[in-house]
Amino acid sequence: MKQTQQKIMCPDCGAEIKSENELAVGDILECQECGTEVELLSLDPVKYQTLVEEK
Ligand SMILES: [Zn+2]
């Protein structure tokens, strides 16, 4: 099986967001640097959007 390089860059601070688990559509990933959360929309190609906290 070919392993795809899936890099998710934080849209806020530019740090790479790493996930220990296999990525799946709908996953919420949190940036370790700034705490920004992104939701994974698609894997091929990788698409994601910032989750905006509602206050
Ligand atoms: Zn960040």
Alpha-carbon distance 19 to 3, whole Å? 14
| Tens of pLDDT, residues 5-45 | 678 999 999 999 988 888 899 999 999 999 999 999 999 89
Identify whether the C-beta of residue 41 lies closer than 8 Å to the C-beta of residue 29: no
pTM over 0.85: no
Give the distance from CA 52 to its chain's centroid: 14
For residue 5, the CA-to-ligand 1 centroid distance in Å is 19
Single-letter amino acid code for the residue at 6: Q
For residue 1, the CA-to-ligand 1 centroid distance in Å is 31
pLDDT of residue 25: 95
Bridge partners of residue 39, in order along the sequence = 28, 49
For residue 45, the CA-to-ligand 1 centroid distance in Å is 21
Half-sphere exposure of 53 (CA within 13 A, CB side): 5
Please, what are the domains in the chain?
Answer: 8-51 (2.20.28.160)
For residue 3, the CA-to-ligand 1 centroid distance in Å is 25
Q: Is the pLDDT of residue 2 over 90?
A: no
pLDDT of residue 34: 96
For residue 55, the CA-to-ligand 1 centroid distance in Å is 20
